[in-house]
Chain A
Amino acid sequence: MDPPVLLTLTDLTKTYPGADRPVLAGVTLTLDRGQSLALTGESGSGKSTLLHLTAALDAFDNGEITLGDTAYSTLTDTTRAALRRDRLALVFQQFNLVPSLTVAQNLALHARLAGREEADWTAHLTDRLGLTDLTHRYPEHLSGGQQQRVAIGRALALRPALLLADEPTGSLDEATSDTVMALLLDLVAEAGSALLLATHSPRIAGLLDRQTHLSRGTLT
Chain B
Amino acid sequence: MIRTILATLLSHWRRQPVQLFTLLAGLALATALWSAVQAINGEARAAYAEASATIGSGRAEVLVSPTGRIELADYVALRRAGWQLAPVLEGRARLGGTWVTVTGVDVLNYPGLPVSPDDEMPVVTDLLGDGLIFAHPETATDIGDAPDLPRIRTSQAVAPGTVLTDISVAERLLDRNGALTRLIILPDQPMGLTPLADLAPHLRQEVRDPGTNTARLTDSFHLNLTAFGLLAFAVGLFIVHGAIGLAFEQRRGALRTLRALGVPVRQLALCLLAELMILALVAGTLGLILGYLIAAALLPDVAASLQGLYGAPVTGGLALRPEWAAAGLAMAMAGTLAAGARALWRMIRLPILEGAGTAGWVDAAQRNTVRLLALGLALPLAGGLAVWAFDGLLAGFALLGGLLLGAAALLPPLMSLAIRVAARFARRPVAEWIWADLRAFLPGLSLALMALLLALATNIGVGTMVSSFRYTFTGWLDQRLASDLYVNAQSDAEAETLAAWLAPRVQAVLPIRSAEFDRPDGDLRVYGIVDDTIYRDSWPMIASAPDLWSRLHAGEAVLVNEQLARREGYWPGTELDLTPDLHLPVVGVYSDYGNPSGQAILSLDLLEDLRPDLPYRQIGLRVAPGTGPALAADLTERFDLPPDAVTDNAAIKAASLAIFDKTFLVTGALNALTLGVAGFAILTSLLTLWTQRLPQIAPLWAMGLTRRQLARIELMRSLALAAVTALVALPVGLLLAWALLAVINVEAFGWRLPMLLFPVDWLRLFALALVTGAAAAALPALRLYRLPPSELLKVFAQER
Contacts and interface: CB of A to CB of B under 8 A. Distances in A.
Interface of A: 52, 55, 57-58, 77-78, 81-86, 88, 90, 96-101, 105, 109-110, 112-115, 138, 140, 143-144
B355 to A, nearest CB: 9
A100 B14 contact: yes
B247 to A, nearest CB: 10
B790 interface: no
Contacts of A90: 260-261
A114 to B, nearest CB: 7
B189 interface: no
Interface string B1-35: 10011011001101110000000000000000000
Interface in B207-262: 251, 253-254, 256-262
A89 B257 CA distance: 11
B400 to A, nearest CB: 42
B799 A143 contact: yes
Interface stretch (B263-271, B492-500, B533-541, B627-635): B263-271
A112 B259 contact: no
Contacts of A55: 260
Interface string B784-800: 00000000000000111
A214 to B, nearest CB: 18
A116 B209 CA distance: 73
Given A86-B262, A113-B1, A57 B257 contact: no
A79 to B, nearest CB: 9
A100 B5 CA distance: 13
A85 B262 contact: yes
B606 interface: no
Contacts of B15: 99-100, 138
A144 B262 contact: no
Contacts of A140: 800
Which of B251, B258, B266 is packed against the most chain A CB atoms within 10 Å?
A: B258
A81 B265 contact: yes
Which of A57, A82, A98 is packed against the most chain B CB atoms within 10 Å?
A: A98
Nearest to A173: B798
Given A57-B352, A98-B11, A109-B8, A83 B262 contact: yes
B353 interface: yes
Contact of B257 (A78, A83, A96): A96
B262 A113 contact: yes
Contacts of A100: 8, 11-12, 14-16, 251, 254
Contacts of B261: 84-85, 90, 109-110, 113
A197 B231 CA distance: 57
A113 B256 contact: no
18 contacts: A52-B353, A55-B260, A77-B264, A78-B266, A81-B263, A82-B264, A86-B262, A90-B260, A98-B8, A98-B258, A99-B15, A100-B11, A100-B14, A105-B11, A112-B4, A113-B1, A114-B262, A140-B800
A169 to B, nearest CB: 15
B11 A113 contact: no
B4 A113 contact: yes
B353 A57 contact: yes
B5 A98 contact: no
10 closest cross-chain pairs (CB), A and B: A85-B262, A84-B262, A100-B11, A81-B264, A100-B15, A100-B12, A112-B4, A98-B254, A96-B257, A110-B261
A61 B5 CA distance: 32
A87 to B, nearest CB: 9
A97 B257 contact: yes
B1 A115 contact: yes
Contacts of A97: 257
Nearest to A58: B353
Given A57-B352, A99-B254, 15 more contacts: A58-B352, A78-B264, A81-B263, A84-B262, A85-B261, A85-B263, A90-B260, A96-B257, A98-B8, A98-B257, A98-B258, A101-B11, A113-B5, A140-B800, A144-B799
Interface of B: 1, 4-5, 7-8, 11-12, 14-16, 251, 253-254, 256-266, 352-353, 798-800
Nearest to B262: A85
B259 A81 contact: yes
B1 to A, nearest CB: 5
Contacts of A138: 15
B259 to A, nearest CB: 7
Contacts of A109: 4, 8, 261
A83 B352 CA distance: 15
Which of B258, B262, B799 is packed against the most chain A CB atoms within 10 Å?
A: B262
A113 B8 CA distance: 10
Contacts of B8: 98, 100-101, 105, 109
Contacts of B4: 109, 112-113
A84 B260 contact: yes
Contacts of A144: 798-799
Contacts of B1: 85, 112-115
A81 B11 contact: no
A88 B262 CA distance: 9
B359 to A, nearest CB: 15
A114 B11 CA distance: 19
A99 B251 CA distance: 9
Contacts of A113: 1, 4-5, 258, 261-263
A77 B266 CA distance: 10
Contact of A57 (B12, B14, B251, B260): B260
Nearest to B261: A110
Contacts of B256: 96
Which of B7, B8, B257, B258 is packed against the most chain A CB atoms within 10 Å?
A: B257
B352 to A, nearest CB: 5
B6 to A, nearest CB: 12
A83 B258 CA distance: 13
A52 B352 CA distance: 10
A99 B253 CA distance: 9
A103 to B, nearest CB: 13
A90 B12 CA distance: 22
A90 B260 CA distance: 8
Contacts of A96: 253, 256-257, 260
Nearest to B12: A100
Nearest to A155: B261
B315 to A, nearest CB: 50
Contacts of B259: 81
A5 to B, nearest CB: 23
Nearest to B794: A140
Contacts of A143: 799
Which of B8, B257, B261, B352 is packed against the most chain A CB atoms within 10 Å?
A: B261
A140 B253 CA distance: 14
Nearest to B798: A144
Contacts of B264: 77-78, 81-82
A199 B5 CA distance: 31
Which of B4, B12, B353 is packed against the most chain A CB atoms within 10 Å?
A: B4
Contacts of B257: 96-98
Which of A84, A97, A114 is packed against the most chain B CB atoms within 10 Å?
A: A84
A77 to B, nearest CB: 7
Given A113-B1, A113-B5, A82 B253 contact: no
Nearest to A85: B262
A116 B204 CA distance: 89
A84 B233 CA distance: 43
B490 to A, nearest CB: 75
A98 B4 CA distance: 12
Nearest to A98: B254
Nearest to A96: B257
A168 to B, nearest CB: 14
A98 B262 CA distance: 15
Nearest to A154: B261
Nearest to A151: B257
Contacts of B253: 96, 98-99
A7 B687 CA distance: 49
A106 to B, nearest CB: 9
A7 B413 CA distance: 54
B766 to A, nearest CB: 42
